[in-house]
Structure formats: structure tokens, C-alpha cells
Amino acid sequence: VTGRPHERGAFDPVGAMLAQIRADNLGNVRGEVASYIPELSSADPGHFGLALAGVAGSEYHAGDSTVPFTIQSISKPFVYALALTDVGVDALLAKVGVEPSGEGFNAISLEPGTGRPANPMINAGAILTASMVEAHSPGERFDRIRSMLSRCAGRELELDTAVYRSERSTGDRNMALAHLMRQAGVLSVPVDEAVDVYFRQCSVLVTAEDLAVMAATLANAGVNPRTGDEVFDPLVTEHVLSVMATCGMYDSSGDWLVRVGLPAKSGVAGGLVAVSPSQFGIGLYSPLLDQRGNSVRGVAASAEISGRFSLHLMHRVKRTAPSFARVDATHPPHPVTGEVGPGVVVLNMHGDIEFTTAEHALLAVKARSEGPQGETALVVDVSNVTACDPVAVLIIEAIADELAAWGLDVVTVDEHGRRLLRTKAEFLSLDDALVFCHQRAETA
């Protein structure tokens, strides 16, 4: 074999991009390591790890991506998903809002009168949310939380007892928040129990690589791409991602959404997750924090990843139009009949068909105001369609009905025989469909 020598494993363009982004931000040493939880102050400010996990199961990393640290507030969206699953949206919304507070993570953001915390991403809302996870005892409650976090990470996660004890003995402000909610009548378990479970959930050890897989589980509609484990319902995941988008970065949530444009969550140990829905999860670790308790290098690197990978939620997505092919004399003759009749139009659709893709087809048909131009049949070939949204099915079937009213035969081809569309007939191959259409045209 000739050619350039190739180092095994060196072909990793995504990993190389992450390494470049890490190098770009490594010199940024602004910020401070959190010290209000004494045990956190021993973190190495030099650590900086990045990881990315795709929904198809690929994983990439750069730097200190296997250094363990406590998950802290990044546990909040996941515990929120668990509580939503347990008690349902209405019961949870009755107790915890979904409005950005515009205040810090430990603010006393309780609705006057009801004592309802503003959202589940600030401490008050998170303590209350954790207390709603169904269990017979606080021990069982934490076990369920740890097992859910482990399922999202795709491996068994452990508790950092030193950090847990450290926070337990200094967590007066969180105790105070719980007392206020207890007094207002929203917190239904004793204060001690509620904060104990919360302190434990914050003290679960993760790495940037774990965070990437956890975020990818959210990106992948609740299914862990590493293990295939269906951890959350897709609707629960959508709900959680929405709250992360508006409240995940505390009082810099607006700034974050403008700059990075992804649902995200930070933690005071220096971790950060960001989710690109349907694409991948990002996990970052750098313990130097800004005034708001967000990782300085984590935020900067996320902005860079978002820009370079074109991930901003408001970024324009270009959808490919389905292609139309008019089958006529230029089409190779049919292998069995040896002939090709004119007038059969093939609509070739591929990928995930959503509103806009289906609408392309609709506009093309509507543009033909003069009606049929000698066509006798429309063959909709969906063999390469991976998924079809209900709204797209509706539009394509309306097109089929309209063309049938023009007097055309409308049939489907699907080599998988899925019957995605309700048409006169479905064939397993284009050839079979063409034979059918041509015979119909001859006997007409």
C-alpha cells in the first residue's frame, strides 16, 4: 500500500476541533474557584476538560475530560425530569414555576403568597423538586436520583462524601430557603430531609465525559446514546430543555441564550452542560467561576463551539427539498417490459420529512395551476424517508388527493413496506410501481 503513513487513531477532526478550542481558551485564567462550600476550594484551577457525545453514539474529548468533580447544580435539570416523570407536569408546575428569576442561584425567589419558587434551576426550586421525587424514605429518594443520574451517564456514579459533608455543615442558606418554603406550605417533607437529599444529589461525582453523555441523553429525546437506555419520555425532555434554555444559567440566562443559543446548565464545581437538540451533548469542566457561578472557560468554550459548529437554536436550518423526477424516454427502459411510458412523475423523498420539506412539494404542485400536462401518474417514493411528521403526512396525502382529482394515479413506493402514506397502492420497488402505472395508462 502506497500513500502517506497514517497514524492509527489520528483521524479525529472533531476531537482536533475540541483540542483547538481548548487551546484557544486555556490562557483565560479569570474567575475564582468556589469556596463557599469549603471542600470545593481544593479544585485545581488549571483543569480544563471538554467532551462531546453525539446522538448516534460517537464521543470526542480534549484535555482533562476524565477528571472527577461534583455535579452540583447540573443535577437539577435531571432531577427535574425525574420528578416530572413521577408526578406529572401539572402537579409539578403547581409547586415550581418555569419563569427565569433574573437572580442568582441561591436567591429567595419565591412567589409572594404561594411560596412557589420561580423555577427548578435555582436552589429553592431544586430543593422542592427533589422533595417531589417519589420514595418511601429520603434514602430511597436519593438512591432513585443517583440511579437516574447513572443511567444518563451510562455508568455507575458515586457520591463524594467529603463534599457532601462540607456542604451539609455550611449549607445554612439552603436550609433557610427550605424553611421558608416549608412555612409557606409548598415543601411537604421536613427541611432536614429535603436539603439532605439535595446536598447528596449535588455531591455526585462526574467527569466532563459523563456530562457529555448525560447532555446527549437530553439531546436524544431521553435515550442514552451510549447504552440505548430509555431514561426519559421525549415530552419530558422537551419540557426540561425549555426550562434549561430560559433559566439554566441563572442571571446570565438571557446573555447566554444570545451568545451561545443552547439549553444549558452550570454547576459551582466548574461543570457545564449544553445540549444541541437532536445532535449532541457537550460537557465541560473548568473550576474558575465568574461572579454568577458559571465556569469562565466553560462559557467561553461553549460560545466558540456553538459558533464553529453552527449550533445556535435560532440559526437558520436549510432543509432539502424533495426532488421531482419526470420519468420519460430518458429513463432507462424497464428491465421486464423493456418500455418506458411517458407521463409518470416520481416524487423522491428522503430523510426526515417535516412541515417545510412537505410544503416544498405542496408549493411545486400548486405552481402547476394549469393542471396535468400529459402526466398519468404520480409515484411517491418514500424508501429513503427516515421519519415522517404527522403534519407532513397530512400535506402529502392532500397533494395525493388533489392529483387524484386531476385524474392521476397516485401510488407509493416503499421498499420497507411501511405504509407511511394512504395512497391507492403501495409497491416494494419503483419498477413494480412503474409497471402498474404504465398498464393503467394503456388500459385507460
Contact 211, 283 (CB under 8 A): yes
Q: Quickly tell me which residue has 461525582 as its cell.
A: 205
Decide whether 72 or 253 has the Cβ nearer to ligand GLN. 72
Given the residues 60, 164, 198, 285, select the one marked as catalytic.
Answer: 198
105 binds ligand GLN (CB under 6 A): yes
125 binds ligand GLN (CB under 6 A): no
Among 106, 237, 253, 357, binds ligand GLN (CB under 6 A): 106
Q: Which grid coordinates belong to 428? A: 416494494
Letters for 241-280 (x = contact with ligand GLN by CB under 6 A, - = none) are: --------------------------xx------------
Has 73 been annotated as catalytic?
Answer: yes
Distances (CA, A) of 229 to 84, 153, 217, 221: 18, 10, 9, 11
412 binds ligand GLN (CB under 6 A): no
Given the residues 191, 195, 231, 268, select the one marked as catalytic.
Answer: 268
In angstroms, rounded to a whole number, what is the distance separating the alpha carbons of residues 326 and 67? Answer: 58
Order of all β-strands in the sheet with 344-353: 323-327, 344-353, 377-388, 409-413, 425-427
Decide whether 172 or 370 has the Cβ nearer to ligand GLN. 172
Contact 122, 101 (CB under 8 A): yes
CB of 215 to ligand GLN, least distance (A): 16
Has 366 been annotated as catalytic?
Answer: no
Q: Which grid coordinates belong to 371? A: 393542471
In angstroms, rounded to a whole number, what is the distance separating the alpha carbons of residues 436 and 33? Answer: 72
Among 65, 109, 166, 174, binds ligand GLN (CB under 6 A): 174
Binding positions for ligand GLN, 148-167, rule CB under 6 A: 167
Q: Which grid coordinates belong to 208? A: 466532563
Q: What is the C-alpha radius of gyration for the chain, rounded to an integer number of angstroms?
A: 27
298 binds ligand GLN (CB under 6 A): no
Decide whether 295 or 376 has the Cβ nearer to ligand GLN. 295
Short-list 443, 45, 84, CA closest to 243: 84
Kindly determine how many residues on this chain lie close enough to bind ligand GLN according to the rule CB under 6 A: 11
287 binds ligand GLN (CB under 6 A): no
In angstroms, rounded to a whole number, what is the distance separating the alpha carbons of residues 371 and 324? Answer: 16
Given the residues 80, 164, 250, 285, select the one marked as catalytic.
Answer: 250
Strand partners, 280: 54, 276
Backbone phi, psi, residue 171, to 5°: -85, 45
Has 424 been annotated as catalytic?
Answer: no
Binding positions for ligand GLN, 42-81, rule CB under 6 A: 72-73
Has 268 been annotated as catalytic?
Answer: yes
In angstroms, rounded to a whole number, what is the distance separating the alpha carbons of residues 269 and 300? Answer: 17
Has 58 been annotated as catalytic?
Answer: no
Decide whether 21 or 240 has the Cβ nearer to ligand GLN. 240
202 binds ligand GLN (CB under 6 A): yes
Catalytic positions: 73, 76, 198, 250, 268
| Site residues (vs ligand GLN, CB under 6 A) | 72-73, 105-106, 123, 167, 174, 202, 267-268, 293
